[in-house]
Amino acid sequence: MQQLEAAIFDLDGVIVDTAKFHYQAWRRLAEELGFAFSERENEQLKGVSRMESLELLLRAGGITDLTEEQKEDLASRKNEWYKEYLQTLTPADVLPGVADFVGQLRSQGIGTAIASASKNAPLILEKVNIRPLFDAVVDGNSVTRAKPDPEVFLQAARLLGADPACCCVFEDAAAGVEGAVRAGMRVVGIGDSGLLARAHLIVTSFEQLEPVYLLNHIGIAGHAGGEASE
Ligand code: B16
Ligand code: MG
């Protein structure tokens, strides 16, 4: 059996609940454009790039006649609101169980990385003061192809010197789960099982997860080798 070498974490919706701020900002933009945008429709925007998110939002509102310049302008307005909401973040916003879980993996010699589609990842990591828990960060500033492309996960594995087949990804979005599967990695979905069906294991929170449980449920062995025992 392969051994777990690295754990790669999505940021928005996995480490910190910034997904709600993205939704608030997109909903505000939709209201300004004259249509309502539901939380259900917003699910599709999770994990995908800012411009792709805008395209999905405009499609939901039936808006088809904008120039590239107008779209850039709308996306940057949304981003200004989003960054305004991010100012309220503090270390207390790190989701329950995350810091303990990541710390336990590190103490077992497992490499850790962030793999996020967000160009705001550096700001978010600084606001919640969690950067020291990760050996590497790959985000929307360093990738050329957005999730579900596997690029962000493969870059993270490369930085950690890990074989993709020995990496486990933690993701809250269908696009991210798909990207991690395409990268040849094991995937733990965080959240709604209906939306993350391709993940190898689904949990609702890191409070439910311990390294031993993880190893026993994703078909990968512990760093020291052998089967984990619960
Ligand atoms: P930004 P993740 C993703 O982050 C979000 O889930 C997605 O909703 C957002 O559109 C994307 O980042 C880009 O974010 O506008 O801040 O560059 O989940 O991959 O950490
Ligand atoms: Mg996410």
Strand-pairing partners, residue 137, are 114
Q: Is the pLDDT of residue 225 over 60?
A: no
Q: Assign 138 a pLDDT band (cuts: 50, 70, 90).
A: very high
Nearest atom (ligand 1) to Cα of 117: 19
Report CA(142)–ligand 2 centroid distance (Å). 17
The answer, yes or no, to whether residue 192 has pLDDT greater than 90, is: no
* Token pair in block for residue 56: 């999905």
Instruction: Quote the CA–CA distance of 137 and 35 in Å, as a whole number.
Output: 36
Q: Has residue 214 got a pLDDT over 50?
A: yes
pTM: 0.91
pLDDT exceeds cutoff 70 at 229: no
Assign 213 a pLDDT band (cuts: 50, 70, 90).
confident
| pLDDT higher at 224 or 197 | 197
The percentage of the chain sitting over the pLDDT mark of 90, rounded to a whole number, equals 84
Q: How far apart, in whole angstroms, are the C-alpha atoms of residue 38 and residue 185?
A: 32
Q: What is the CA radius of gyration of the chain?
A: 18
Whole-number Å distance, alpha carbon 215 to ligand 1 midpoint, is 28
Position 36 scores a pLDDT of 97
Domains, the chain, with CATH or none: 6-16+92-217 (3.40.50.1000), 19-86 (1.10.150.240)
Averaged confidence pLDDT in the chain: 93
Terminal CA-CA length for the chain: 18
The pLDDT-based confidence of 224 (bands split at 50, 70, 90) is: very low
The pLDDT, as a whole number, for residue 105 is 95
> Is there a catalytic annotation at residue 73?
no
Alpha carbon nearest to ligand 1 atom 6, residue: 47
Question: Position of tokens 């999905």?
Answer: 56
| Residue-level pLDDT at 223 | 60
The pLDDT score that the predictor gives to residue 1 is: 65
State yes or no: pLDDT of 228 exceeds 60. no
* Model confidence at 197: pLDDT above 50: yes
